[in-house]
Amino acid sequence: MSTVATPRQQFSRDLLPSDEPLQLIAPSGEAAPGAHLPPDDVLVDLYRRMVLGRRFDAQATALTKQGRLAVYPSSHGQEACEVGAVAALRPQDWLFPTYRDSMAIVARGVDPVDTLGLLRGDWHLGYDPYVHHVAPQCTPLATNTLHAVGLGHAARLKGEDTVALVMLGDGGTSEGDTHEALNFAGVWKAPVVFLVQNNGYAISVPLAKQNAAPSLAHKGIGYGVASMLIDGNDPAMVYAAVQSAVAAARAGEGPTLIEAITYRIEAHTNADDASRYRDQDEVLQWLARDPIDRLERYLIARGLLDASARDHVAVEAEAAASSLRERMNADPKLDPAELFEHVYAEPTAALRRQAATLSGELAQ
């Protein structure tokens, strides 16, 4: 179902992807002989951040049950993509995440509480995009692919060494904006990496009803965009693919489309009922291909991780989770007047009148 990435494939700039998803570490935890793996310290770091990420995700789900979040789309099962991709970015690069990618935002270094601003609902966004170079989580599907292309192209015009990584889902590839973004990126040779997390579903709609292509990565050639099809549950492969795509973008070789095959373990969001459209067996099969277990097996076999190191990470994750829990249990302070402050650089006369009306009401 997957094939070992030869060095040639791993660093491929071909317009057509491999027939099977590329892999560096098998689900068993064994690395393919001769595979070009990322350095050991990177792999250990990926493991740690995936564990932290999964714990964060579980905590966010719990907070939602407690009514602390308006909604939460879990990325449980997609840790290799969420963490592997972000780990391959440099500080000056930009991440364009979706509602699904809270874990990636945390992996990028944004405070978990700030990360959850949108889903908590005290404002539309809880962090400053310019601090960690993380665009707002995008809800209108695929629309941010164009923002990434524009930002990347602007960087080149300004002579800046910046690459934009935009995440989207299998369903998002059906939107016209995805096509326009790939086309603009191809024509402009923009420094952009498109990472499609193909998790099998768009809410309830399976890939077969979404697309009839051999793979989503096969779209790239229609735009002259280099494309790769990879195992999205292999953190080493995700890291390696994004890293080589970023390097190519920096070198002026243009954009790359990466399709990562993964799976959405939870329902679409806490509000969704996945039993209406998929069997639990399918979920169980994918649990057996868990990205964290895979890397853990590899690291242990290679003597890069032992019980105490593992416990140490687990403890760190618990600590982060309880800090998140505590801070999220404090009610955010709200200022209704802010509703009028950011619509324009300066509130218009009409907005000032409306703000006065509201504060008058609240004063009563």
Q: Pick out residues in 218-247 that bind a copy of itself (CB under 8 A).
A: 218-225
Residue 100 interacts with, from Mg ion, other proteins, ligand TPP, none (CB under 5-8 Å by kind): ligand TPP
Residue 87 token pair: 């780990």
Pairing of strands 3-4, 22-23: parallel
Rule CB under 5 A: say whether 199 interacts with Mg ion: yes
Q: Which of 152, 235, 254, 255 binds other proteins (CB under 8 A)?
A: 152
Exactly one of 132, 179, 277, 302 is catalytic; name it.
277
Torsion of CA 48, 53, 54, 57, to 10 degrees: 160
Q: Pick out residues in 164-183 that bind a copy of itself (CB under 8 A).
A: 174-180, 183
- Under DSSP, the state recorded for 218 is G
CB of 223 to a copy of itself, least distance (A): 6
CA distance 359 to 165: 42
Residue type, 25: I
CB of 93 to Mg ion, least distance (A): 24
CB of 212 to a copy of itself, least distance (A): 3
CB of 216 to ligand TPP, least distance (A): 10
Interface map 180-199 toward a copy of itself (x if CB under 8 A): x--x--xx-x----------
CA distance 283 to 163: 35
Choose the binding region for other proteins from 229-237, 243-251, 292-300, 349-357 (rule: CB under 8 A): 349-357
Pairing of strands 201-202, 205-206: antiparallel
Q: Pick out residues in 210-269 that bind other proteins (CB under 8 A).
A: 210-211
Asked if 277 is an active-site residue, the reply is yes
Handedness of CA 4, 9, 11, 15 (dihedral sign): negative
Indicate the residue among 152 and 235 with the shorter CB distance to other proteins.
Answer: 152
Helices (H), 13-142: 40-65, 79-87, 102-107, 112-115, 117-120, 129-132
Q: Pick from 277, 239, 126, 248: which is nearest to 190 by CA?
A: 248
Q: Which of 79, 101, 170, 266 binds Mg ion (CB under 5 A)?
A: 170
Asked if 264 is an active-site residue, the reply is yes
Q: What residues line the site for a copy of itself (CB under 8 A)?
A: 15, 174-180, 183, 186-187, 189, 209-214, 216, 218-225
